[in-house]
Amino acid sequence: MGSLKGIGMLIIANILIMVTLAISANVLVYFVLPMFGIDVSGSFEARQLMFAAVFGFGGAFISLWMSKWLAKRGNKMQQVVNPSTPKEKLVYDTVEALAKREGIKMPEVWVYWDDVPNAFATGPSRNNSMVAVSSGLAMNLSDAELKAVLAHEVGHIANGDMVATTLLQGLMNTIVYFLASMVARLVATAMARGEEPSHLVYFIVDMILQIMLSFLAAIVVCAFSRRREFKADAYAADALGADAMISALQKIDAMSQRSVEWQGRESREDALATMKIYAAHGGIAGLFATHPSIEDRVNALRNRR
């Protein structure tokens, strides 16, 4: 029942977001901009660009704003406020020390029960974030390795990776929406042969193009994400030394290869995690990997020695 309730709340939230964005776009085009002498209501191209920007950036930033809530709804979590076990104390104290080192507000610390070794950081800003660790990660890594992974996560927060990725995602969304709309209008107009363009043709072409262009946009976003992973690894190496991070990556890689089930279950966390420890190796799949291969990450860390 709790899972169904969470799904229902997510659906309702998404509907409200879409309605809010649609209203905001109309208010911007027909009321706000005219107050400043900017009238784009008669220009299809300008109007669509405004709508694309509102939906592209608006959707991305609303997702960022909701990221902590979504993370907590997606996993059975427990917040660590007063650590009661040695592992909880290690996680909490490490995050606290790193946050003080960076001069940022202490992120919320959460643990969740899952055999899959994973950790992630999310949140709308450097001073409003959370770090979550799975039981599989905490129980299978040494203290030094666990601290290195936590440093990687705090590195994402300190580097502002969530906001940077959201800005890029918003830009890509805007380009996708705008180009799809423009091409769909041209196709619908051409097929109409001088008559009123078909709204159905416009809608179908627009949807197909959005799907196709979204794959190309995802390649750009994933490439950016892989670069941020190297930077977060570098942060961990600077904070606690490269050896512990290398050891953690190698151990997690070995664990993931021993369990096909872990790799099958990881997809449900993709929207939440800024650190997915697994990564595709080469080929087409590599273009859509949010993380570099373990080998590339280890080599980059070794080169820092």
What residues act catalytically? 153
CA 281 to the chain's CA centroid? 20
Q: Which residues of 20-40 are buried (b: 16+ CB within 10 A; e: fewer)?
A: ebeeebbebbeeebeeeeeeb
Q: Which residues of 244-277 are buried (b: 16+ CB within 10 A; e: fewer)?
A: bbbbbbebbbebbeeeeebeeebeebeebbbbbb
Closest CA to 131 of 103, 110, 112, 117: 110
CA-atom Rg of the chain in angstroms: 22
Beta strands of the chain (E only): which ranges? 77-79, 108-112, 119-125, 128-134
Strands 108-112 and 119-125 come out as unpaired
Closest CA to 79 of 126, 129, 132: 132
Query: Contact, 109 vs 92, CB < 8 A?
Result: yes
**Dist CA 244 CA 165 (whole Å):** 27
